[in-house]
Chains A and B, each alone.
Chain A
Amino acid sequence: MHFNSLNYVFIFLPFVVAGWALLRTTAYGNLFVAVVSLYFYASAELWYLLPLFATALLDYWVGQKVHDTKSRAWAKRMVILSVVANLALLAVFKYTTWLTTALSGVLAPLGVAVPVILIVLPPAISFYTFQSMSYTIDIYRKEFHPYRNVVDYISFVTFFPHLVAGPIMRARDLLPQLARSRPLPSAQNVSLAIFMILFGLFQKTVFADNAGGLVEMVVQLMGPGAKTPLPPGLGLIFAYGFAIQIYCDFAAYSTIARGSAKLLNVELMRNFLTPYFATGPSEFWQRWHISLSTWLRDYLYIPLGGNRGTSWLVMRNLMLTMLLGGLWHGAGILFILWGAWHGLLLILYRLVPIDQWLARFGFAGKALAAIIFFHLVCIGWIFFRATPEQIGPIWSSIIATPTIIPDILTKYAQYIPGPNAGFGAWATFIPGLLAGLAQQNWYLYVFGWGLVLFAGPVFVLDYLGRRHNVEFPDLFLRMNTVTRAVLALIFLYGIIFFARRQASEFIYFAF
């Protein structure tokens, strides 16, 4: 089931909230939440439950054993079992097809036939394996203790608001909230939750899906196998468009997830915090997919040594962490390259702190640093979204962008007014030149307008949030009644008139 469906908003969610409100003080409250979460997850395919239960039950059992044993060596063995089993499950589902396809391609010229094994990836497997793994690791580290009630544990792993695409919650943050008998949420929280869900739907269906449409159109222009060269500038539309799509898509999911959880009086962690205003990579990763970046920090980067040791060791740790972060996102060389790119940026900014240097120039310097880093992030998004054959045409188009102005000036050279020409001549020439510019670069002109429509408001709303170091929906608590109502109507009519109808799945469902 999708958050952005009428069934979720008007049937599933009200039913779940009402059911939980009725049962919350009984022993069946969490059982009810677990059952509806399983329905939410597996209503499309029942077999999705098999790997989910395998992970959840194994880690539940390992958690007990690790806690109960007096031997650290035995506890270590058990936690290794948990980590290996989770990673193996992830590897089988996520990487088998990619690896066998790659091997088949490499070995075919040598006459070795490797069968390609096609495995369907269950949604959310990357999320729930990481989450479940952190439970056993935290118990091993004695940072958390196991919960004995299996229903509580299952409801933690499967809690529907965050099951499919995060935030990746630690057991220590979520399990205690679920295991206790919670009071009903306050009126203020319910009010905020409704606003968050409405804003999330608006952000997803209007900004993310329409920006995704621009990306699809650019891909379509490249034709099958990306054999058609892209006109100058459209590579930028691809990069900017996808930057907006993936941010709004994922942030919207997180906002709806947080809003839905609030209705059950559960707090989920913030996953985004105006990331495109970050001035450097460290700040970016404190603001982008925060639950994953902190997970990688706590369970990978710090165990690898973190900031301790020589510069070389730190850089190695950074690169390894980001490479694995890339691989977590998907099976493919371009995901690894995306991770490597961010690893390189972290290292580069550590060696040459551009952001700190620019920050000395005040607001303008910070703005410039943010613009520079946004473009570096966009370069990474090209690897994330494009197929290998699309990379060339996209880059050629980006590189050719500066030729647009000289090209049009060359074409219109004969009409350029002379040195003694009066205002009238220029008043005729300039509009003609602009009209010619638009005609010669029609796709760029139209898609550029699309970016203004679908990206412009995103930056404005994020800027408003950034001023208070929150996300835009969090400003709800500072708004008066009329502002809230007007915004609600804007979101509602934005959805009615401009939401894309056919695009629906959230991108991170695929991870």
Chain B
Amino acid sequence: MNSSISHFSWVGLAVAGFVAIESAVAWWAPRPDALRNNLLELSFAKPELVQRAFVFEKVQQFDDLKPDIIQVGDSSGLHAVQSPIVESYLGGRSFLNLSVASNLGFEGYLALADRMMQRSGSVKLLVLYFTSSPRPALLTARDLMGPDLQRELVNPFNSVFHTPSLGLRREVSDRVFYLNGRLNQLDRPLIANPGYFMLRDIIASSGGWSRETDIPDDHIVSPFQMIRDVTPAVAASNDMTIVKGYRDLFAAIDPVTFDWRSLSRRTYMEIVFDQYLALARRHGAHLVIAANPYPEAFRPQENNGGTTSRGGMDLPEISKEMRAYANKHTDVSLLDYDYWPDNKFSVFSHVGTPYSVESSHRLGRFLADIAQQLPSSSTGQPTYVAPKRVVLDMGASPTVYGFSDAERAGDRRFRRIRQGRYEALAYARVNPEAQQELRVSVLNAPDDAVLRDIAIGLYGSAATRLPDIQDDGKLILRFSLPSEATRRFGGWLELTLSTRGATAWQTNALDPAATGPQLQIERMDLVSR
């Protein structure tokens, strides 16, 4: 017997060593739960999949918050819903946008919701926000991240293997793979994608919203171009081929499948909605199914007494099915899709950044009544506390919209409003109770007329121009922000910077034929006074 046991003494010694190492890490170098998983690949010299990095950032940022309402879903919600604006309708309840991208699949969105609801115990309303309908491609495709997220974020079996040392994985692999940065900028392998850095910079203050980055020129050519732009594989095809190719993806009527759980034939939509409803019910929460608006180009055309679907989607049929589901359950509400002008979209599934304010209001208005019926916020914790000074570094931060790409001129990093643009947007969150001053550091000092016409607007309210100052030889334009505007959305600001005196985004702000001043901005500071 003793002889048999002696063969395993090395196992005992290894287990003891393992326990000692893990205990030491847990005691001296603990890392948050959000880091203790295998969500990121962290492969040698290989960029991370951008959507995976988005999930990681959102989990890391929001893991310990206790929101009253959460939203999960695809990128239509990521780009359409600014949490502070929605919160302005919710009577003091907090809202978090956990939407990421459609390649998570419905199983992936569900994992994010499940984790947040389990950890916080505070969620009373679950919003599933998406474009188009649940369909096989978003449930069963092999490259979806859903199973990974289920495994890494919520599966109790896998969590057993999320040891304390796993939280050090990135630090250790950075040291070994890149010799602590000597072989690479440490961020670069994480993702070589400006959209990632933009999202990382802004989601804490925006409550999970991030601006749209798919279309650099910010405007639509045609509805079918929108589909082409998101799927290069079919870019070479003619319009009809594209529509045909997309018929499977945007199935006109959701195919019926055999559901092994209920042993009945059901649509994918029902199966998905049931999973979300079951999760909401487990936590005593209400479920909202919310559809992103569609471009007018997708509105079915009426002809000879019937309708023809556009873009491969039979939206009325999808709507009918969603309504039927919501009518069947008292704890489900539906925000159905509507049609918006094409120019409010960058791709068919993403509202353009200037219109994300409008889509945030749309969701906020819808949730207002439902939120009234919820118990009052149990935590009252703000999801974000603004610092005294907010710096928008124009060379590095891509949180602005409407500028050209960052450029370098010697050591100077700046952004410019280039020809064909008149306006730009910048986003930040400040202390709503303090008077705010915006300081714009101008680099190229265009002629007096341009400087005179520069205006800053906050949701249509004009900022008051203060006397300019010179700082270290640079021209600083100063503006006092109207306090009612900074308070409106809890300090969340969309600043419209116009070179022609406008205080709100103009629909022709991106006129490709126009020529305009090339205003160069180094940075913008928001200072509490």
A191 contacts which of B10, B42, B179 (Cβ < 8 Å)? B10
| Residue B172, interface by CB 8 Å | yes
CB B207 to nearest CB in A, in angstroms, measures 29
The residues of A that contact B14 with a CB separation of less than 8 Å are 484-485, 488-489, 492
- Write the nearest CB–CB distance from A88 to chain B, whole angstroms: 30
B258 within 8 A of A: no
Q: Which chain B residues lie closer than 8 Å to A447 at the CB level?
A: 45
Q: Are B169 and A210 in contact (CB under 8 A)?
A: no
Are the C-beta atoms of B45 and A450 separated by less than 8 Å?
yes
Q: Which of the residues B5, B8, B42, B46 comes within 8 Å of A217, measured between beta carbons?
A: B46
> Is there an interface contact between A446 and B45, defined as CB atoms closer than 8 Å?
yes
Chain A residues near B40 (CB, 8 Å)?
501
The complex places the Cα of A445 from the Cα of B182 at a distance, in Å, of 11
Q: Closest B-chain residue to A212, C-beta based?
A: B43
Q: Please provide the chain B residues from 41 to 63 with a CB less than 8 Å away from any CB of chain A in the complex.
A: 41-46
Cβ of B4 under 8 Å from chain A: yes
Across the two chains, which residue of chain B brings its CB closest to A216? B46
Cα distance A28–B304 in the bound complex, in angstroms: 69
Q: Are B43 and A496 in contact (CB under 8 A)?
A: no
Secondary structure call for the A interface: helix
* CB-contacts of B141-199 with A (<8 A): 157-158, 161, 163, 165-166, 168-169, 172-173, 176-177, 179, 183-184
* Residue in B11, B158, B183 whose beta carbon sits within 8 Å of that of A449 in the complex: B183
Q: Which residues of A contact B44 (CB under 8 A)?
A: 210, 213-214, 450, 453-454
Is B41's CB under 8 angstroms from A501's CB?
yes
Flag whether B38 is at the interface (Cβ < 8 A): yes
B121 at interface, CB cutoff 8 A = no
Closest Cβ neighbor of A194 among chain B residues = B11
Contact of B13 among A445, A481, A493, A496 (CB under 8 A): A481
The answer to whether B7 has its CB under 8 Å from any CB of chain A is: yes
User: A484 vs B13: C-alpha distance in the bound complex, in angstroms?
Assistant: 9
Q: Is B264 interfacial (CB-CB < 8 Å)?
A: no
Minimum distance in angstroms from B222 CB to a CB of chain A: 25
Contacts of B157 in A (CB 8 A): 6
Residues of A within 8 A of B387 (CB): none
A482 touches B169 (CB 8 A): no
CB interface residues, A 186-231, toward B, < 8 Å: 187-188, 190-191, 194, 210, 213-214, 216-217
Pick the most buried of B4, B7, B163, B179: most chain A CB atoms within 10 A of its CB.
B7
Interface code A476-511, partner B: CB below 8 Å = 1, 0 otherwise? Answer: 000001101110110011001110111100000000
| Assembled-state Cα–Cα distance A15/B520 (Å) | 67
Residues of B within 8 A of A210 (CB): 43-44
What's the least CB distance linking B177 to chain A, in Å? Answer: 7
> How many Å lie between the Cα of A46 and that of B13 in the bound state?
43
With A453-B176, A453-B177 already in contact, the answer to whether A446 and B41 are too (CB < 8 A) is: no
Whether B45 and A501, one on each chain, are in contact in the complex, defined by CB atoms closer than 8 angstroms, is no
- Known contacts: A187-B3, A191-B8, A216-B46. The answer to whether A493 contacts B161 by CB under 8 A is no
Q: Would you call B45 and A190 a contact (CB within 8 A)? A: no
A502–B145 alpha-carbon span in the complex (Å) = 10
Instruction: Kindly state whether residue B339 has any CB partner on chain A within 8 Å.
Output: no
Interface size class of B (residues with CB under 8 A): 35 or more
Give the docked Cα–Cα distance between A476 and B331 (Å).
61
Residues of B within 8 A of A449 (CB): 179, 183
CB proximity of B470 to chain A, nearest CB, Å: 40
A497:B184 contact, CB within 8 angstroms:
no
Decide yes or no: A481 and B41 within 8 Å by CB, A6-B161, A492-B18, A497-B169 being known contacts: no
Complex-state Cα separation, A453 to B5, whole angstroms = 36
A365 vs B183: C-alpha distance when bound (angstroms): 36
Could you tell me the distance between the alpha carbons of A449 and B46 in the complex, rounded to whole angstroms? 14
Q: Which residue of A lies closest to B38 (CB)?
A: A501
Min CB distance A376 to B, Å, is 27
Q: Cβ of B9 < 8 Å from any Cβ of A?
A: yes
CB distance from A199 to the nearest CB of B (A): 13
B residues less than 8 Å from A482 (CB atoms): 10, 13
Taking CB atoms, residues of chain A closer than 8 Å to B460 are none
- Chain B 1-36, CB-CB to A under 8 Å as 1, else 0, gives 001110111110110011001000000000000000
Report how far A484 CA is from B10 CA in the complex, Å. Answer: 6
Q: Please name all residues of chain A whose beta carbon is closer than 8 Å to the beta carbon of B176 when the two chains form the complex.
A: 453, 497-498
Contact residues in A for B38 (Cβ distance below 8 Å):
501
Q: Mark B217-258, 1 if CB is under 8 A from A, else 0.
A: 000000000000000000000000000000000000000000
Find chain A residues with CB under 8 A from B165 CB.
493, 496-497
Q: Does A489 contact B18, Cβ atoms closer than 8 Å?
A: yes
A209's nearest neighbour on chain B, judged by CB, is B43
Query: Are A498's CB and B46's CB within 8 A?
Result: no
* B13 and A485 form a contact (CB under 8 A): yes
A481 neighbours in B (Cβ, 8 Å): 9-10, 13
A6-B158, A214-B44 given; A488·B10 CB < 8 A: yes
| B18, B41, B45, B168 interface centre (most CB from chain A within 10 Å) | B45
Closest to A476 in B: B10
Highest count of chain A CB atoms <10 Å: which of B10, B40, B165, B173: B10
- How far apart are the CA atoms of A194 and B10 in the complex, in Å? 11
Pair A488/B3 contact, Cβ less than 8 Å: no
Instruction: Point out the residues of chain A lying under 8 angstroms from B18, CB to CB.
Output: 489, 492
Could you tell me the distance in whole angstroms from the C-beta of B231 to the nearest C-beta in chain A? 14
Residues of B within 8 A of A485 (CB): 10-11, 13-14, 17
Give Cα A446–Cα B177 distance, bound, in whole angstroms.
9
B41 pairs with A191, CB closer than 8 A: no
B232 to chain A, nearest CB (A): 10
Q: Return chain B residues, CB-CB under 8 Å to A446.
A: 45, 183-184
Residues of B within 8 A of A217 (CB): 45-46
CA distance in complex: A311, B183 (Å)? 54
Q: Which residue of B lies closest to A503 (CB)?
A: B43
Q: How far is the CB of B183 from chain A (nearest CB, A)?
A: 5
On whether the beta carbons of B11 and A445 are closer than 8 Å, the reply is no
CA distance A194 to B8 in the complex (A): 10
Q: Let me know if A502 and B41 touch, CB within 8 A.
A: yes
Q: How far is the CA of A488 from the CA of B9 in the complex (A)?
A: 12
29 A-B pairs in the complex with CB atoms less than 8 angstroms apart: A187-B4, A187-B7, A213-B43, A214-B44, A216-B46, A217-B45, A445-B183, A446-B183, A449-B179, A449-B183, A481-B10, A481-B13, A484-B14, A485-B10, A485-B13, A485-B14, A486-B17, A488-B11, A489-B14, A489-B17, A489-B21, A496-B163, A497-B172, A497-B173, A497-B176, A501-B38, A502-B41, A502-B43, A503-B43
**Chain B residues close to A by CB (< 8 Å):** 3-5, 7-11, 13-14, 17-18, 21, 38, 40-46, 157-158, 161, 163, 165-166, 168-169, 172-173, 176-177, 179, 183-184
Q: Given contacts A191-B11, A194-B11, A498-B176, could you give 7 more A-B pairs where the C-beta distance is less than 8 Å?
A: A213-B44, A214-B45, A484-B10, A485-B10, A492-B14, A501-B41, A502-B43
Q: Top 5 A-B pairs ranked by shortest CB distance?
A: A484-B10, A485-B13, A187-B4, A488-B14, A187-B7
